[in-house]
Structure 1
Amino acid sequence: MGRAKGSGYIFKKGKVFYLQTKVNGQTKVISLRTGNRLEAERKVQQMIVPAIEAKTKEEFALYVTQARKLVSSNSLTLAEAWDKYLKSPKRRETCSKTEANHKTRFERFKTWLAKAHPGVQTIAQVSDSVTSEYAGVLWEEGLTAKTFNDHIMALRLVFKTLAREAGISENPFGSHNIEKKAEEHQTRRELSETELLNILAAPDSPELHLMNKDEMKVLLHLGAWGGLRLKDAALLKWDTVNMDMGQISVVPSKTRRNKRPVIIPLHPALKAELEKARDWDNGSGYILPMVAERYGRNPAGIVKDIGRIFRHTGIATTAKSEKYSRRKLNVAVAGFHSLRHSFVSFCAKKGIPMAIVQSLVGHGNPAMTRHYTHIGTESARQAIAALPTLTSKSLDIKQSRSKLINSLIEKLNEQDEETLRKAAILFKIDF
């Protein structure tokens, strides 16, 4: 796409194209806010070239008016951006907790921006260099890779959702500008059978002071024998349980978008605890009404009590991180999620097929990967070990046997030949 003579020239600096032109005799450099050459050319043709080529004042005034309309589409302010985001039909559906986290991160960016770049008032004015600077500030604060990535992804989502309304063609928080950090994964450890039994029995101990002890005991059983995540177990309802069929059918909160229920057969120990839970059914629909109410207003309180249960049985729940230098606090090494990992471990040891366990806990569970990769390796090793050892001597013997059998067959009539072949098959003689 060509440009009219005198309209200036386009050049690329870093990952963004700019237009250098003259306005009233003065050289101006204008960011075209795109890293795509064709898009840059289109912007120049659409907004600048027509004005330069205007032959009359009336024609020039018309182009100015059109340019102002284009500019007005880029005037979505940062102050009104969050409300626009919430009302956008393009906004991805998220849970209230995730949405609150997104808002916190967006407000933090706005606060930093007001101090570092007070002149930036609109979404369209947020450049790649500004967001790169902000990302650098976050990283220098010592955030873990996961926290950093979550922060950037939240802002990337907000800007992506508002892109058309804000008049931006390229997301300044996009991966072209800010790369994802390699995350430091820390999983909860699994429990031995003895440890698990001690944890399940802990709520019965008079020495352990705990809120809603009876309900907490059922909660632990849901994790141990159902492989449920804490949120799903705490908020489980009676309409997901079919005691006659002996199963739970629930859509996990983490994968609720696909609306695919997970069918969990009831372990005898879990079924017995659910029978006891009928005694405190208050009509709310929740199997654990007190736990569900508390989880709704203070999930951290439930997590802390689970930690107390583990520590009561002698299991440490945190440890210093020697591997991850950016972590300022101790890392969690055991907790409710340990029950889920242990569930996978017990399934693997009992020989339950991987596909069945995957249908219960998902493909990405770390324990799933660890145990079934090991089982797959062991199965492959046993299969290879079962293969016959071939040597030149064994091949010579095999060929001699084959020649002998063939010579015998040639001397027999057709009926005897068929009989011999059947016998050879029965005795697994290869000829």
Structure 2
Amino acid sequence: MPKKSQPEQFTCQFFCWPIYQRPNGVWYADGRSNGAAIKRTSLGSKDREEAIAALHVLDRVQAERVGLTPRSTVADSSKRLPLALGRKLFDGHTSRPRLVGGTKANTQKRYRAIFDKFLPFLETKRIVDWHQITEQTLASYAEYLNEREYAYKTVFGELNTIKTAFKWLCTEKHLAREPLVLRLRKADCERAYCYSKVEVAAMIKHCSELSDLNWLRDVIIALSCTGLRISELASLKQADVKTKSRSLVIADESGFANGQADRRSTKSSRTRHIPIHSDLQSVLESLRHRKGNVFLGPRGGTLKPDTVRNILVREAIEPLTPRFPKRFEGQRSFEDGRLHSFRHYFCSTCANNSIPERIVMSWLGHSDSEMVRHYYHLSDEEALRQMENLDLVGKDAGRSGVEEVR
């Protein structure tokens, strides 16, 4: 006679439960010998995942009954929300069509990565449903991320996303709770390094002298003359170059109904126009023979941001670093420059040449920008020079002119 199989042992927050399937496929839990003080109980489903979710609810209910934990403010167990179900609801909310408030594909991808990390952390704390998450839970998670040396801005972004998801679940009545009240201090960290004009010129010259880096020279010139993000430059097509108006059109194509998989989506979801500087014009003319994308990678394929960044550091920044050493210990210098530093360089150059702030923001694709304000604040010396050029009271009026105004 074959030996009778032993039930699977599944550990929840409070009890270890023997679980098994009846011949009809329905899952059952046995609480007779684990201290839960309950007989064999149906979990009400043939689906294991659904049965486990029900088991977590049963585990807490029985723990409350035997006094292992205080009774929840949510008396109706049907109001409880397992972690997986809450995440599924929020994922469905964010993946709606953008027309009705959904998020971009990249945003959804970022959210998935956050919850892929957060939910396993909750399991280590024996937290199985959203009702158990508190402000202290988030504080513990922040400490967990800090111990693993995540950047301040990363921790801030992840906790803010979790708070947003929790608030939405409360607002939509999936949770009989108030939103989490945890004030997060926004990072006031150092910005990306901003290249100087001399440093940009040195990189261009260096790449011009090496034939296999000519493609990188063109990329550096384009980024320096437009302030484009590397992803925007990589997706720039010949059709985006308007020779008659001498401008680049960075179009958000997410609303197009052409069914193309490579439709471009800008960060601001706005289409913008950038005048073509004469230094960039010569580069574009040399690349006019290409079809499709304007800028290509080192082997003639698609320009990939990660590849460009790695080659920029290895082939341009590292060889030139001895020429531009760090002035003070702990201060960012040329060796810390990356692709986004060209965007800062463009903004800084515009500010120092007195181009109106609103125009620069439209070129960069911002309706409001802390980065732009930062560089316009840094150009106070230029602002003072411009102020001195104004004839406000009449140069020949002298002191008497001032007295007359009074």
Considering only CA atoms, is the larger Rg found in Structure 1 or Structure 2?
Answer: 1
Q: Which amino acid aligns with 2:139?
A: S
Q: Given that residues 264 and 360 in structure 1 are in contact (C-alpha distance below 8 angstroms), is that contact kept between their aligned partners in structure 2?
A: yes
Report how far residue 108 of structure 1 moved. 1.7
- Write out aligned runs for 1:26-425 (5 A): 30=71, 32=73, 68=76, 71-75=77-81, 77-88=82-93, 93-117=102-126, 120-163=127-170, 164=172, 166-171=174-179, 174=180, 176-192=181-197, 194-206=198-210, 209-210=212-213, 213-214=214-215, 216-251=216-251, 256=266, 259-281=269-291, 285-290=292-297, 294-295=302-303, 299-311=305-317, 314-315=320-321, 333-361=336-364, 362=366, 363-366=369-372, 368-380=375-387
Amino acid in structure 1 at the alignment position of 2:90: Y
Deviations 1:277-324 (A, max 9, x none): 12232xxx321244796555xx32221112234326614799799659
Q: Conserved in 2, the CA contact under 8 Å of 1:149 and 1:181?
A: yes
Count of paired positions = 321
SS of 2:274's equivalent? strand
Matched AA of 1:107 = D
CA gap of 1:398–1:378, structure 2 versus 1, over 3 A, is closer
Q: Distance in 2 between matches of 1:274 and 1:330?
A: 31
Please tell me whether the aligned partners of residues 190 and 339 of structure 1 are also in contact (alpha carbons under 8 angstroms).
Answer: yes
TM-score, reference length from structure 2 = 0.64
Contact 2:193–2:333 under 8 Å retained in 1 = no
Q: Cα gap change, 1:305/1:252 in structure 2, threshold over 3 Å: closer, same or farther?
A: farther
User: How far 1:265 sits from its partner (Å)?
Assistant: 1.1
- Partners of 2:169 and 2:397 in 1: CA distance: 68
Q: 1:245 to 1:320 in 2, by over 3 A?
A: same
Deviation of the 1:256 alpha carbon: 3.8
2:248–2:275: 8 Å Cα contact kept in structure 1?
Answer: yes
Using the alignment, how far apart are the partners of 1:331 and 1:168 within structure 2?
53
Report the counterpart of residue 27 of structure 2 in structure 1. Answer: none
Shift of the 398–177 alpha-carbon distance from structure 1 to 2, 3 Å rule, reads: closer
Please, what TM-score do these two structures have when normalized by structure 1?
Answer: 0.60
Aligned-partner residue type, residue 233 of structure 2: A
Q: Are residues 238 and 159 of structure 1, via their aligned partners in 2, closer, same or farther at CA, if it must alter by over 3 Å?
A: farther
SS of match in other structure, 2:273: strand
Structure 2 unaligned regions, length at least 5: 1-63, 254-263
Alpha-carbon separation, structure 1, partners of 2:327 and 2:144: 26
* Conserved 8 A contact 1:189-1:333: no
The one-letter code of the counterpart of 2:239 is D
Deviation at residue 151 of structure 1 after TM alignment:
1.8
Does the Cα contact within 8 Å between 1:88 and 1:161 map onto a contact in 2?
A: no
Deviates more, 1:100-109 or 1:287-296: 287-296
| Amino-acid identity (%) | 18
Is 1:226–1:264's contact at 8 Å kept on the other side of the alignment?
Answer: yes
**Cα deviations across residues 203-240 of structure 1 (Å, max 9, x unaligned)?**
3323x755xx43x3332222111121211112112222
CA–CA distance in 1 between the matches of 2:345 and 2:146? 35
> In structure 2, what residue type is equivalent to 1:125?
Q
Structure 1 gap ranges (5+):
1-22, 33-46, 48-66, 400-428
Q: 1:272 to 1:300 in 2, by over 3 A?
A: same
Distance 2:129 2:281 in 1: 58
Classify the secondary structure of the residue corresponding to 1:264.
Answer: strand
**In 1, distance between residues paired with 2:317 and 2:125?**
46
Aligned residues of 1:123 and 1:166 also touching (Cα < 8 A): no
Question: SS at the partner of 1:167?
Answer: coil
